[in-house]
């Protein structure tokens, strides 16, 4: 799959923006947004629910019970978890430095993307089976990065040109919420009253890993490029996920507010997603990020993001379905080589339940991971098919 390319035009902050950024630093040390569509509203969340990133304790218990009870549809979704684990061994070594490569990949970049999804798969398999083997495998991955990762860096692109350092910001925003989703399950979920046994010392070390990714990479996304696109959508989702993990309203609201203020930039009034004329997967980066951010908010007791800007998330997925049919002004993906459906559609369809979204999700049911991309959580046919709102 074609990788994200970098956009030119880094935004230079004027005096007013600098003052705004300074004010934001007093709150959470996060860079100011490129532009502000409206005053910050904040999420109103003061106490977080755990597990609380994309999955809840209730939804996990529901789907595990159905799979263990022999439900064929749920089992088909769960088998995608098993397939991924069978194809990817749990690592025994972890990179200290992860090298980002624009429009390509590196061994360490590929590994961290794969491993964050693998940790999540292990956590889901523990939920379903109750076997400590899978909980321990998830902890092995989470602890491996917490103990070994130091920083991101860059390597040249395949054509020899340099990779801009800001690519590391996006890479961190892609992997962090997947790590956190796995960690939320391992830390908080209980199978038959028994937790996974992740120690307080290990959790504290993992906190440091997540704060490193947040403070040194994710926080730099707003203002790092001159457009509002999948980068900032990934920022919103990552910050909300990290906020849940850290029990920090300030961190969570920095992502929530940005999403609310810029929803009309991510998805236009006609439903076309920014980057819709580019290809068939960049627009889905935006849709997956915003859908998972909205689902995380829903779990926290707030369904407002699903309704932002006249249900923009629903409209974006619907317009993508139309593009596959070749019936929109957006780039037709009907015969494109990059027209695979991303697993966020299952989560969106579970909430909205429209016929158009059903038609889109039915194209590739059941959903596993974005392969070989590994940029967003998968296995949604196990975790989200028909779980209710």
Q: Check whether 32 has a pLDDT greater than 90.
A: no
Residue 39 CB neighbour total at 10 angstroms? 8
The helix/strand/coil state of 224 is: coil
What confidence tens digit (pLDDT) does each residue in 40-66 have?
589 999 899 999 999 999 999 999 999
Half-sphere exposure of 327 (CA within 13 A, CB side): 5
Q: How confident is the model at residue 2 (pLDDT cuts 50, 70, 90)?
A: very low
Closest CA to 123 of 387, 372, 115, 206: 115
What confidence tens digit (pLDDT) does each residue in 276-322 have?
888 899 999 999 999 999 999 999 999 999 999 999 999 999 999 99
pLDDT for res 332: 75
The helix/strand/coil state of 160 is: coil
What confidence tens digit (pLDDT) does each residue in 99-144 have?
999 989 999 999 999 999 999 999 999 999 999 999 999 999 999 9
pLDDT for res 306: 98
pLDDT for res 278: 87
pLDDT for res 325: 87
What confidence tens digit (pLDDT) does each residue in 218-244 have?
999 999 998 999 999 999 999 999 999
Q: Check whether 8 has a pLDDT greater than 90.
A: no
Q: What is the C-alpha to C-alpha distance for residues 237 and 250, in angstroms, rounded to an integer?
A: 14
pLDDT for res 40: 58
pLDDT for res 16: 33
Question: Could you state, in order of their start, the residue ranges of all structural domains in the chain?
Answer: 48-383
Q: Six-digit token pair at 364?
A: 């590739």
Mean confidence (pLDDT) of the chain: 90
Q: What is the C-alpha to C-alpha distance for residues 384 and 213, in angstroms, rounded to an integer?
A: 28
For residues 26-34, average pLDDT? 38
- CATH assignment of 48-383, among 1.50.10.100, 1.10.600.10, 1.10.3720.10, 3.40.50.300: 1.50.10.100
What's the Cα-to-Cα distance from 69 to each of 62, 74, 125, 222, rounded to whole Å?
10, 10, 15, 46
The helix/strand/coil state of 277 is: coil
């Amino acid at each position: 799959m074609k990788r994200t390319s970098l956009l030119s035009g880094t935004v230079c902050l004027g005096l007013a923006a600098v003052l705004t950024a300074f004010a934001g630093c007093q709150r959470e040390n996060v860079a100011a947004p490129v532009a502000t569509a409206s005053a910050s509203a904040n999420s109103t969340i003061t106490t977080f629910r755990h597990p609380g990133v994309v999955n809840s304790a209730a939804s996990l218990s529901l789907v595990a019970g159905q799979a263990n009870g022999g439900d064929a549809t749920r089992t088909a979704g769960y088998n995608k978890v098993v397939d991924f684990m069978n194809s990817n061994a749990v690592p025994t070594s972890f990179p200290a430095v992860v090298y980002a490569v624009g429009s390509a990949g590196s061994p360490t970049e590929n590994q961290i993307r794969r491993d964050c999804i693998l940790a999540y798969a292990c956590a889901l398999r523990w939920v379903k089976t109750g076997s400590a083997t899978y909980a321990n495998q998830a902890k092995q991955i989470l602890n491996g990065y917490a103990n070994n990762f130091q920083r991101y860096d860059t390597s040249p692109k395949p054509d020899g040109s340099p990779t801009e350092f800001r690519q590391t910001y996006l890479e961190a925003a892609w992997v962090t919420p997947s790590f956190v989703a796995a960690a939320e399950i391992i830390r908080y979920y209980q199978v038959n009253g028994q937790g996974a046994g992740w120690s307080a010392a290990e959790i504290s070390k993992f906190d440091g890993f997540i704060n490193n990714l947040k403070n040194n990479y994710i926080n730099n996304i707003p203002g790092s490029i001159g457009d509002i696109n999948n980068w900032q959508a990934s920022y919103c989702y990552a910050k909300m996920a990290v906020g849940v993990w850290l029990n920090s309203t300030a961190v969570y609201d920095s992502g929530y507010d940005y999403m609310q203020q810029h929803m009309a930039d991510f998805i236009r009034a006609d439903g076309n997603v920014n980057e819709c004329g580019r290809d068939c997967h960049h627009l889905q980066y935006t849709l997956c990020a915003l859908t998972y951010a909205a689902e995380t908010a829903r779990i926290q007791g707030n369904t407002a993001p699903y309704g932002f800007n006249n249900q923009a998330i629903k409209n974006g997925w619907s317009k993508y379905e139309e593009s596959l049919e070749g019936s929109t002004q957006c780039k037709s993906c009907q015969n494109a080589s990059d027209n695979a459906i991303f697993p966020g559609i299952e989560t969106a369809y579970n909430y909205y339940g429209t016929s158009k979204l059903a038609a889109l999700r039915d194209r590739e049911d059941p959903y596993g991971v974005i392969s070989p991309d590994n940029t967003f959580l998968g296995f949604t046919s196990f975790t989200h098919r028909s779980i209710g709102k």
